[in-house]
Amino acid sequence: MTLKGHCYCGQLKYEVEGAPITKGNCHCRECQYISGGHPNAFIVMPDGEFKYTEGSPKSFKRADLEQPRTREFCGNCGTHILTKSDLRPGAVIIKVGTLDNPDIFDKPDMAIFTVDIQPFHRLDPETPSYERMKT
């Protein structure tokens, strides 16, 4: 399967081959900042099959965290494309909203970091949920 996507302004485009490793919604406070307050819908794909086809991303990594994630985004419009984490070697965590065809997401396999859930977030009772990262 080939997934393609881009940022809001279209200057940064990507594609990735392979089968999704997992899909989920992250409710952590950091994702709430990035998403504007809601959980972050993500799809985990093999890193070796990911490439930018147009443009180059900017990246950000917090220096104050013990295990910071690297976040890649469009330097022009700010759209957050993906996250890389040492906790998921060999994988990229793609933001579903950047996919050309986001309906591939269908339904999350899990909800994580529900310890930070806000009262206005809704969990599907049929979706496994975890207070922290599922390992």
For residue 93, count CB atoms less than 10 angstroms from its CB and return exposed for 0-12, middle for 13-18, buried for 19 or more.
buried
Q: Is 2 helix (H, G, I), strand (E, B) or coil?
A: strand
The answer to whether the CB of 79 falls within 8 A of the CB of 7 is: yes
pLDDT digits (tens, 9 = 90+) for 1-40: 899 999 999 999 999 999 999 999 999 888 888 888 889 9
Task: Report the number of distinct structural domains present in the chain.
Answer: 1
Residue 110, both tokens = 């899990």
The answer to whether the CB of 18 falls within 8 A of the CB of 44 is: no
Residue 96, both tokens = 């579903």
Residue 17 domain flag: yes
Q: For residue 95, what are the CA distances in angstroms to 75, 76, 98?
A: 16, 17, 6
Residue 9 domain flag: yes
Residue 67 domain flag: yes
Residue 42 domain flag: yes
CA 42 vs. chain centroid, Å, equals: 4
Residue 13 domain flag: yes
Residue 10 domain flag: yes
As a whole number, mean pLDDT of residues 101-113 equals: 91
Residue 125 domain flag: no
Residues spanned by the domain of 83:
2-116
CATH of the domain at 79: 2.170.150.70
- Look at residue 135 in the predicted model and tell me its pLDDT: 53
Residue 121 domain flag: no
Q: How confident is the model at residue 134 (pLDDT cuts 50, 70, 90)?
A: low
